[in-house]
Structure 1
Amino acid sequence: MKIYLLGLLCLTLAIPLSAAEPARKVLYIGIDGTRFDAIEKADTPQLDALMKDGCYSPTCLILGERYQKNDTVSGPGWSSILTGVWADKHGVNDNRFVGSKYTEFPHFFVRLKEAIPTARTVSHVTWEPIHKFVTASADVSVNYEERAHGVLDYDRYDNAAVAASVKELSEGNPTALFTYIGQVDIAGHTHGFHPSVPQYIEAIERADKLVGQLIAAMKARKTFADENWLVVVISDHGGKGKGHGSGHKSPEILNSFLIVSGANAERGEIDGPTYLVDGPVTVLTHLGVKLKDEWQLDGQPRGLKK
């Protein structure tokens, strides 16, 4: 009996304990009004590295096949990016946010909290309507835009939002962190949405540097080796001339982009059509949230390894 027990003990000790699965986390970055062909023209080493370490769609569509009556502006765009449903469901057809239905079709933070109540969710933005209307069930939600203080300075606002996100990554323990960068859209409205416009390209390059700060802070986390981060970067629309409204037939406006990067991401260009609503569904899927039929999500997880 002693020999049998000793053999069993030795066999048990010889079997390695399975390592705990790394904690899944998401860094979700939104860069307003950014054309992919302008990213290709600009010097964007940070976005380039994310695409190399993941996958991307250069033609992520801002309108779905079922419903296309909303205007091609930020209100419905960011609502779709953060809820995973189109405007006929979330109710936002323009920048007035009249008729919004975020109770029925909420920010993906709500769905994450339903599945994982202990998840920490953080949103840092520089466009006030996202903070005022869209963000829900967030542990931290801050807007850094200052419309009441004279000349608008989105470079400063974006730097403040990113600095707060860097602090969260360095000192906190976020499950899902959303950071919004607004200055590219402002440059487009002021100077033009086109790769040939120097000021538009310069704004994209500044945004790329901000992305780099976020990635550096993420990788510098003491617990990074024990975590499984997915980085998703997306924009709400492109642009043509100095605008993007009523762009239902303009490819320059209809085509956004989607980058999905990290250990769980596929590599190369994403096959097939990709849509804004795919962003939050990809995030939820990576975080291990079981998608429910009653949520009526329009998006599909894109760019994740099977």
Structure 2
Amino acid sequence: MHRIYSLTVLFLCFFLTAFQARAQEKKTLFIILDGIQRELLIKNPTPNMDDIISEGGYFPAYVGGAKGGYSETPTISAVGYNSLLTGVWVNKHNVKGNSIRQPNYNYWTIFRHFKENYPNKTTAVYSTWLDNRTKLIGENLEATGNFQLDYHFDGLEVDTLGYPHDDESDYIKRIDQEVAAYAAEDVREKAPDLTWVYLQYTDDMGHRFGASPEMDLGIQEADRQVGMIWDAIQEREKKFDEEWLIVITTDHGRGEGGFHHGGQSDEERATWIISNKAFNEIASQTPGIVDIFPTMATYMGLTIPKNHAMEVDGVSLLGEAYASHLTGTLSGTELKLNWKSYGNGETGRVWVTSTNQFRYGNSDLYRMLGEVNLEDESANFDIKVPQNNVKVVLELPTGFINVWVKNTD
């Protein structure tokens, strides 16, 4: 009798453990709403995004890399998408415009890292632009290890019979509506583990009409489409005890009058991030679009190989905040570093290399300069041998931050 009782207790414990493990299953979905400048998003009624914000937050953000620096990045759509996908700026991922001529696939997308970690989990892209899947993610290309998505819905814009192109971009509006509806249904029925939704119509309205009633209506329609997907996520969470991270952002701001973008004006660089999760202190320092990659990686528990992690330009907005905003100067052999600390009394290690072989698919040879107290927010080192440029990596208790430094002598 005692043996039967013990077996029953063991079975119940096993069942509860298995249920709790399933209940903790995490899924991530990110949305890019193209070309919505910060002030117009705030101005317009967006009840669905407001609902998401109420669970997490709204954060002013930026694109464009280091203005005037080595990582300065054009505020152009595909460039911004790829900075999100790879967590690095244009000097690394090499997507310089919407033609996407020579992406450097040595900087892996979040999708490829996800599949390396979880080969049996599912990925999906729902997009109003086919090139997001075929060129940026690089599906089925030798250079991306023949990466394959599990689900996708895109390419409607090349069907000129079904979606005849018109001067008012109504066909893009129709495609956005279908993409959002399809994504919402797949979330509800298939629940991919990592999903990207891309909607374009707002960018078209900005280019055609600038800051205008037409743009306002485009933003409000985008919010309605977000609402369809958000409703599906909430339904999944209630029915299947799943936990979802949703991140919504835009790829660039807009210049004077709300028409154009591509340059480095404050207006073109100004973006925003919305999430249903509360972010850490780094989010108060105006995060970059490159911070979304490590944020999702943290949430999903991805293990990023060290040589890849040392290249990532962003920092996670989830989890413990240690340091961010690493900068440096080099004069002769004297290296001076500064960073923003978040006051946790931890130490870090400083690594340096004068090579840049990662971009060619090879490894860089690093040497450790020493340990630092992160609360000091600065450190000086003698690199011994003069170099024209050095890549400096500050290793944190979890993760890395990096900066390229040019010799001023």
* Length-normalised TM-score, structure 1: 0.87
Structure 1 or 2, whichever has the larger Rg, is: 2
Which of 117, 133, 152 pairs up with 1:141?
152
What is the number of residues matched between the two proteins?
Answer: 295
Check conservation: 2:63, 2:75, Cα contact below 8 A.
yes
**Match in the other structure for 1:49:** 51
**Match in the other structure for 2:262:** 245
Deviation at 1:268, TM superposition (A): 9.9
- 1:111 paired to 2:113: yes
- Distance (Å, rounded) in 2 between the aligned partners of 1:12 and 1:127: 52
**Match in the other structure for 1:159:** 177
Percent identical: 27
Query: More strand per residue: 1 or 2?
Result: 2
- Distance (Å, rounded) in 2 between the aligned partners of 1:269 and 1:301: 8
**Match in the other structure for 1:297:** 312
Deviation at 1:164, TM superposition (A): 1.3
**Match in the other structure for 1:61:** 62
Q: Which amino acid aligns with 1:184?
A: T
Which of 201, 210, 227 pairs up with 1:183?
201
Deviation at 1:15, TM superposition (A): 8.0
- Distance (Å, rounded) in 2 between the aligned partners of 1:289 and 1:198: 43
Check conservation: 1:270, 1:303, Cα contact below 8 A.
no
Deviation at 1:8, TM superposition (A): 8.1
Deviation at 1:142, TM superposition (A): 2.9
Q: Which amino acid aligns with 2:307?
A: E
- 1:81 paired to 2:84: yes
Deviation at 1:305, TM superposition (A): 7.2
Any idea what SS the aligned residue of 1:221 has? helix
Aligned residues: CA RMSD = 2.7
Any idea what SS the aligned residue of 2:227 has? helix
- Distance (Å, rounded) in 1 between the aligned partners of 2:208 and 2:154: 22
Any idea what SS the aligned residue of 1:238 has? coil
Bigger relative contact order (CA 8 A; separation at least 6): 1
Alpha carbons of structure 1 residues 167 and 273: separation in structure 2 relative to 1, 3 Å: same
**Match in the other structure for 1:96:** 99
Check conservation: 1:187, 1:200, Cα contact below 8 A.
yes
- Distance (Å, rounded) in 2 between the aligned partners of 1:226 and 1:145: 34
Q: Which amino acid aligns with 1:54?
A: G
Q: Which amino acid aligns with 1:175?
A: D
Which of 132, 135, 147 pairs up with 2:134?
132
Any idea what SS the aligned residue of 2:96 has? coil
Check conservation: 1:145, 1:154, Cα contact below 8 A.
no
| Runs of 5+ unmatched residues, structure 1 | none
| Runs of 5+ unmatched residues, structure 2 | 140-146, 322-409
